[in-house]
Amino acid sequence: MDPTDPPVPELQTMPLGLYDVVQFAILGAGFALLAYFLYSLTSRDEVSARYRPSSYAALCLAAVATVAYLLLYLDWDSGFRLEDGVYVPNEEARTTESTRYIDWSITVPLLTVELLAVCSLTGAAARRLRSSTMAAAFLMIVTGYLGAQVLDQGRDRVALVVWGLISTAFFAYLYVALIGAVRRSLPTMGPEAAVSLRNATIVLLSSFGIYPLVYAVPVFADVTPAWFTAMQVGYSAADVVAKIGFGVLVHKVAKLRTAEDVAAGVDTHPEPVWSSNVHKSDGVLPEVGRIAPALLDRLGTSPGREVLRRSDAVPGAAGRRREDT
């Protein structure tokens, strides 16, 4: 069958204005993700080791998404040629949507890792839930890809419905599993961290809801250039909200929980913790007996010399105190 009769969403002839709107959305989202990558890179040490996996997941997610948007922009730029005042798609335009699915197949599982890393589940229960939610997130994207891109190039409405329902089953499991993990975690943290975690979950799951709505458009109507523009802008906006807005909130939860652990004396952190310009905890270094021998060598001391005891920490400072024994 001729892929342009009727045209699939990616092979729409685009008026100048609509083409520019999509290009603006792709570039805007790409630059925002690049900025978020730099933010994640420089702020990862603001949280304790217990919650740092969330920062690492955010860093990997931002890197993958930034590269994906670079490729998406190149696909968009080279996938159309200007003819008689309109942009006509060529064979490369077909890859614009598949690039998004490749991005999501990696970044959506990482979003679940990022959220669960600041929850209170531990041990085998945490590992099982992390594995199952990552698998569900991946399968949700892959099954949606089959209906939207692979079978009859996304124009078979029966395939769209069937694979959309299969994808929705994994989508529903993610909602149930993630909400359950968050609800079990809220009573174990302070009020401010709990509010931020609840807000982060709402942002993530609300932004997730945009994708199936856009997916369903070709089921009910033929996609026009205006609809395709709305799809691209919607996907780009949802990516910014789901990856950046959610990530900033999760980072705040990790910082607040770090401060709570330091204040309770159950963990240490070498720097004071601040959130929204409010001082949350002082910098506290671990006791010498808990420092690895390799780190002791770097500090120029030995197990027979005390570098710091947590009880010697000075509020408002890094708590440095050296005593000869």
Could you give the CA distance from residue 69 to residue 65 in angstroms, rounded to a whole number? Answer: 6
Give the other-Cβ count within 10 Å of 246's Cβ: 26
pLDDT band at 107 (very low <50, low <70, confident <90, very high): very high
Task: Report helix, strand and coil shares of the chain as percent, to nearest 5.
Answer: 70, 5, 20
pLDDT in tens, 266-286: 888 888 888 888 888 888 887
Give the list of residues 6+ apart from residue 201 with CB closer than 8 angstroms, or none: 115, 178, 179, 182
* pLDDT above 70 as % of the chain: 86
pLDDT band at 197 (very low <50, low <70, confident <90, very high): very high
pLDDT in tens, 117-135: 999 999 999 999 999 999 9
180 pLDDT exceeds 80?
A: yes
3-state class (DSSP) for residue 92: helix
